[in-house]
């Protein structure tokens, strides 16, 4: 049982989607965040308050179970299209999160070892003054443009 399941089991009684009397079920996967289980809990509370059943299962081919809000589609084609879109979005999110985890580093030292070139903090006073002059001029022009548009 995952950390999310521990928090959520007190919040919701899940349904078996096969026992729902839905001809065209649509399964909307709820967002799960290991670091913030309240994200899932809040979604479940929202859907339960609206009378939407929550299911907890794994589709064939999935490695783990997920929480889904279950809706009735207006037709088989509608439900199939929505389920395909929801599944595609969930898979994309998983791929994006895996890519982020793969490229995250644990420390500044690892970044330096991988070729990160840290900015130098010993900027000369001339560069600092020049930067300030340029920024002041830009801010002055921006404020003038903003005032002229408000007139």
Q: What is the mean pLDDT of residues 130-139?
A: 91
Cβ atoms < 10 Å from Cβ of 67? 24
- Is the pLDDT score of 119 beyond 70? no
pLDDT band at 151 (very low <50, low <70, confident <90, very high): low
Q: Where are the domains of the chain?
A: 3-103, 122-150
Please report the pLDDT score of residue 43 as a whole number. Answer: 92
Q: Which helix (H) or strand (E) holds 57?
A: strand 54-57
Closest CA to 69 of 24, 19, 33, 17: 17
According to DSSP, residue 151 is labeled -
Q: If you average pLDDT over every residue of the chain, what do you get?
A: 83
Query: What pLDDT sits at residue 1?
Result: 47
pLDDT tens, residue by residue, 24-34: 999 999 988 87
| Whole-number pLDDT of residue 100 | 80
Residues 11-21, mean pLDDT to the nearest whole number: 78
Q: Among 20-29, 45-54, 93-102, 111-120, where is mean pLDDT lowest? A: 111-120
Pure H helices in the chain:
3-8, 38-49, 76-103, 108-113, 125-150
What 90-93 contacts at long range (C-beta under 8 Å, 24+ apart), as own/partner pairs, is 90/29, 90/66
Interatomic CA distance for residues 27 and 24, integer angstroms: 10
Which range has the worst mean pLDDT, 65-69, 86-90, 123-127?
Answer: 123-127
The average pLDDT across 40-66 equals 89
In the prediction, which pLDDT does 138 show? 93
| Three-class secondary structure of residue 56 per DSSP | strand
Taking the C-alpha atoms of 34, 102, 29 and 77 in order, what is their torsion angle to the nearest 10 degrees? 180
Q: Which CA distances in Å does 50 have to 20, 56, 101? A: 17, 18, 35
At 2-11, the pLDDT tens digits run 544 555 555 5
């Amino acid at each position: 049982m995952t950390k999310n399941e521990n928090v959520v089991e007190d919040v919701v009684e899940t349904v078996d989607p096969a026992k729902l009397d839905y001809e065209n079920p649509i399964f909307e996967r709820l967002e799960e965040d290991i670091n913030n289980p309240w994200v899932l809990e809040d979604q479940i509370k929202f859907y339960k308050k609206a009378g939407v059943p929550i299911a907890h299962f794994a589709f064939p081919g999935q490695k783990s179970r997920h929480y889904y809000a279950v809706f009735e589609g207006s037709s088989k084609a509608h439900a199939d299209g929505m389920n395909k879109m929801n599944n595609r979005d969930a898979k994309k999110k998983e791929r994006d999160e895996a890519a982020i985890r793969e490229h995250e580093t644990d420390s500044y030292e690892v970044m330096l070892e991988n070729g990160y070139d840290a900015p130098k903090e010993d900027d000369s006073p001339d560069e600092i003054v020049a930067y300030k002059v340029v920024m002041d001029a830009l801010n002055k022009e921006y404020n003038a443009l903003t005032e002229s548009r408000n007139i």
